[in-house]
Amino acid sequence: MKPPPFAYHAPRTVDGVLAALAELGDEGKVLAGGQSLVPMLNMRLAQPEALVDLSRVDGLDAIEVTDTHVRVEARVTHERLRRDPRVTPAVPLLRQALDWVAHPVIRNRGTSVGSIVHADPAAELPAVLGLLGGHMELRRVDGSREVAGRDYLLSPLDSDTAPEELAVAAVFPRPSAHTGSSFLELARRHGDYALAGVGAVVRLDEDRRLVSAEVACIGVGGVPVYVGLTEALRGQPHDALDLADAVGLVRAAIDPSDDIHATGAYRTHLTGVLAERALTQATAHATHEEIAA
């Protein structure tokens, strides 16, 4: 469990990072919090020629909260984001999801952007980004681009990031009024990656009837599975939800395989249960938000 030799770069500026990545191409890899990459290096599952460490970069550590979004830069750790008092009122789903991410020691180092780039199928934040319709900001020496959260994850541990690109920030839009959200999951042990997890976003109308609903399921496919439930739930009163059809749709949308921690059949069942609970909580949350507003 020792990595093979690699070169180490620790640029002081974003431009320095971009220049290093451009020069290294396929041979370079960004090192953020290291909570996923370092174990992979130690197990020799990743063998980059060079690492470009973000920890010395001046900047890249802002959490920007505006009327329209929360923008999280690449060096922001899970724990900083989780504790920032401006974030929860703006995008409650972030806090709801971050509470499930790993343990404090890992959240203290692991970055939120890094977790999205890393694209673990059971990671919470990629699903949050997708569910809220957010996007990633990517930069390279000669330009920048934005990629929608839903399109960003390609397959397990593979996101739409070129080797010479730096993910600069993740941008999470603020939900509109009367919107509620929830994130629920079940892990074998506290803080582990989940057996399955469900994020839900529900919007109500003036009469507290459902206008739209959607869930994102993690841990049950190569990338988060988004299931639109507006058709199934539109018009239902907030206090008399009938979620049977919605749960059926969620279970039909996923096809998890068996692994050492659970059977696919159990994960399918579990995801349905979590979806039902998350939709119920999100609806309650939406009525709350309305009162608060």
Ligand X SMILES: Cc1cc2nc3c(=O)[nH]c(=O)nc-3n(C[C@H](O)[C@H](O)[C@H](O)COP(=O)(O)OP(=O)(O)OC[C@H]3O[C@@H](n4cnc5c(N)ncnc54)[C@H](O)[C@@H]3O)c2cc1C
20 φ/ψ angles, rounded to the nearest 5 degrees: -65, -45
Handedness of CA 114, 118, 122, 128 (dihedral sign): positive
By CB under 6 A, the count of residues binding ligand X is 28
**Closer by beta carbon to ligand X, 260 or else 291:** 260
Told to check if 189 binds other proteins by CB under 8 A, we report: yes
Contact residue for ligand X among 69, 82, 95, 118 (CB under 6 A) = 118
At position 144, the amino acid (one-letter code) is: S
Q: Is 132 helix (H, G, I), strand (E, B) or coil?
A: coil
Told to check if 293 binds other proteins by CB under 8 A, we report: no
Distance separating alpha carbons of residues 193 and 186, to the nearest angstrom? 9
Angle at 156 between CA 153 and CA 157, to 5 degrees: 80
Handedness of CA 274, 280, 286, 291 (dihedral sign): negative
Query: Which region, judged by CB under 8 A, interacts with other proteins, from 27-35, 173-181, 190-198, 281-289?
Result: 190-198
Give the per-residue contact string, 83-102, with ligand X (x = CB under 6 A; - = no): ------------------xx
Residue 252 CB partners (closer than 8 Å, separation 6+):
none
Query: Which region, judged by CB under 8 A, interacts with other proteins, from 10-18, 57-65, 219-227, 255-263?
Result: 255-263
Judged by the rule CB under 8 A, the positions of this chain that interact with other proteins are 1-5, 39, 43-44, 103, 186, 188-192, 195, 260-263, 265-266, 269-270, 273-274
Residues within the interface to ligand X (CB under 6 A): 29-37, 74, 101-102, 106, 110-111, 113-115, 117-118, 120, 123-125, 161, 166-167, 193
